Amino acid sequence: MATVSIPACTSALLLDIEGTTTPITFVKDILFPYIREHLEEYLSTHWEEDECKQDVHLLKKQIEEDMRQNRSCPVHTVDQTVHTDEEKAIREVMDNVLWQMAADRKSTALKQLQGHMWRAAYSSGRIKGEVYQDVIPSIKRWRGQGLKVYIYSSGSVEAQKLLFGYSVEGDVLDLFDGHFDTSIGAKVECKSYERIAERIGCQPEEITFLTDVTREAKAAEEAGVNVVVVVRPGNLELTDDERAHYDLVTSFSQLELTGRA
């Protein structure tokens, strides 16, 4: 693919993670399987610790909310205070977590427990955050040209910081000026990008957003943000219309900043 020029008015780059800086397979084939494979071990080891108790408490609240809303949920209910058999209680938590993951739930309770498990995995060296080889050199080049660089991902800010703090390239967190997650709004809503511009302190047209998801690209565009769609192995196939409409890159190295050295 040809070089893509970014407008000279750009002062900030906003980067998606999954499918943009990082292979989609990292989440699907590394992070999620890690939870499934190590859940019992993690709960057994940390069961009596305050953080784990809080995680279980949140899961219990989520189940109660699901039952109030008549949502389907596993047959077990989680109750850490009333049980005679710790293993049975752990099994009930496991059933709920695995059920939520199978249903692709995005509940705060699930995200919090996953985040704590991933933190332990990253800090022990069991997992390293994957980034494409073109990402770090390109970010360093952009920063050298006076641009600010931010992350916007549906993964929590804590999960983002773990990925880049324990990456295959080492701790690269100092390359980013800030992180945004869905607490600022959904990535498919244009208001989210307006809020990010306000938080950064610039106009939407001064931001260039890199993503592999065209629904996100459309929302950003509606907010006045400049958009580049990233085409990586394993990403969702683009339609002919999408290919014609958006600037496309297969590598960050193809991005050139107009009027900058």
Binding residues for Mg(2+), by number, are 16, 18, 212
CB 249 within 8 A of CB 38: no
Beta bridge partners of 42: none
Query: Smallest Cα–Cα separation from 191: which of 212, 213, 222?
Result: 222
CA 251 – CA 122 distance, rounded (Å):
26
CB 15 within 8 A of CB 21: yes
Known binding positions for substrate: 153-154, 187
CA 45 – CA 142 distance, rounded (Å):
44
Known binding positions: 16, 18, 153-154, 187, 212
Give Cα 11 to chain centroid, integer Å.
23
The string of DSSP letters for 167-227 reads BTTB--GGG-SEEE-GGG--TT-HHHHHHHHHHHTS-GGGEEEEES-HHHHHHHHHTT-EE
| Cα distances (Å, whole numbers) of residue 182 to 16, 201, 250 | 12, 19, 26
